[in-house]
Amino acid sequence: MYELDESKYLYLFGVLPVLVLLFLFNLYWKRKKQREFGDADLVKRLTPEKSVFKPVLKFIVLMLALSGIILALVNPKIGTKTETVKREGIDIVFAIDVSKSMLAEDIAPNRLEKAKQIVSQIINQLGTDRIGIIGYAGGAYPVLPITSDYSVAKMYLQNMNTDMVSSQGTALSQAIELATTYYDDPQTSKLLVLISDGEDHGEGSMEAAEAAKEKGIKIITIGVGTEKGGTIPLKRNGVTESYKRDKDGEVVITKLYPDALKTIAERSNGGYIYGGNTRDVTEYVKKALDNIEKTEFESKEIATYDSQYQWFLGAAFLLLFIDVFLLDRKTAWIRKLNLFNEKE
């Protein structure tokens, strides 16, 4: 078994035929100029030590050296052994509140960006766990299904905004219900990390939490914002133009309501933590993950490959070293053999 680590460098082999054509053209041009200079036999007598074969040999050695360097760049790998690898972990779904109240800046830079920072740092702590993402406001919206590709998850996470869900509010129950559909394996340990300011949390969230518990889903809730609250800035091109107002024209003050979040966590045998300090939250979630039993996602055999570039690179350097000592004049012992009929 073998594989090519950097197969893109194989295109460099396309340069070699071009060099061959240039070399042949150069030989043709030299012979043409020699014929123009004078009689071929006379020119040959004037340069008795010049070998016809040596330039060709030097070119062949140079081409082999370049081929070795290209193969070293490609880095062929040979499979030396196979081993069985087991992937174990937890299915984790992040449900992030994207209602307009999450734009409040009572926690820097604002509640939504803080939630993204928390989720991103939690993902950085994970190993072989699978993750999914949900956005919710007045309704719940699937952002990313269960995956083990953390880079893709972070890309989707950073693109989340308050315009994702048209209806406003904080439908915690719908977020929990949608999360239950993410877990495709009933045997896998399940965790739902729900991040919100808890404001206007709607009805049925407690019942949804108990239903999730019956399905083996533990819920950790994270509160972002402050109980003192803050205004909701309305910005254009990053500049605050005004603040959100209610129907009476009064500036809206949005606050953190942790009680609903704490109750949801309790109903599902989970836990609640305030999201003011990202490090505290990530450590809290990490400890919670350590206490949840890992389950096996898949078991498969993979081949272990060893790089072979060093052999090609070594051969290339050896050929280049030999090329230095290959001179254009005839070699004495080869001349005695007269392999190429170079004697008169």
Q: What is the mean pLDDT of residues 64-71?
A: 92
Question: How confident is residue 1, by pLDDT bands cut at 50, 70 and 90?
Answer: low
8-state DSSP, 7: G
User: Is-contact 197 97, C-beta < 8 A?
Assistant: yes
- Does the structure show a pLDDT above 50 at 204? yes
Among candidates 121, 268, 260, 262, which has minimal Cα distance to 180?
268
Tokens of 180: 């239950």
Q: What is the mean pLDDT of residues 334-338?
A: 54
- Each residue of 256-272: pLDDT tens digit? 989 989 999 999 989 99
Among candidates 245, 247, 246, 225, which has minimal Cα distance to 233?
245
Top CATH class, 86-299: alpha beta
Tokens of 245: 């107002």
Tell me the C-alpha to C-alpha distance, in Å, between residue 327 and each of 24, 27, 51, 146, 291: 19, 17, 9, 66, 73
- Does the structure show a pLDDT above 70 at 49? no
User: Is-contact 328 54, C-beta < 8 A?
Assistant: yes
Looking at residue 338, its pLDDT comes to 57
Looking at residue 335, its pLDDT comes to 54
Among candidates 11, 50, 48, which has minimal Cα distance to 30?
50
Looking at residue 5, its pLDDT comes to 80
Kindly report the average pLDDT of the chain as a whole number: 84
Question: How confident is residue 225, by pLDDT bands cut at 50, 70 and 90?
Answer: very high
Looking at residue 65, its pLDDT comes to 92
User: Is-contact 188 90, C-beta < 8 A?
Assistant: yes
Q: What is the mean pLDDT of residues 190-199?
A: 91
- Compute how many other C-beta atoms are within 10 angstroms of the C-beta atom of residue 37: 11
Q: What is the mean pLDDT of residues 89-110?
A: 91
- Does the structure show a pLDDT above 90 at 337? no
- Does the structure show a pLDDT above 80 at 299? no
Looking at residue 26, its pLDDT comes to 87
Looking at residue 218, its pLDDT comes to 94
- Does the structure show a pLDDT above 70 at 109? yes
The end-to-end CA distance of the chain, in Å, is: 54
**Greatest distance between any 2 Cα atoms in the chain:** 113
Question: How confident is residue 287, by pLDDT bands cut at 50, 70 and 90?
Answer: very high
Q: Report the percent of the chain where pLDDT is more than 90.
A: 41
Tokens of 252: 């809206």
Give the start-to-end residue ranges of the domains of the chain: 2-75+308-337, 86-299
- Does the structure show a pLDDT above 80 at 236? yes
pTM attached to this predicted model: 0.63
- Each residue of 114-162: pLDDT tens digit? 999 999 999 999 988 899 999 998 888 999 999 989 999 999 999 999 8
Question: How confident is residue 223, by pLDDT bands cut at 50, 70 and 90?
Answer: very high
Looking at residue 333, its pLDDT comes to 47
How far apart (Å, rounded) are the C-alpha atoms in residues 315 and 329?
25
Among candidates 302, 224, 213, which has minimal Cα distance to 258?
224
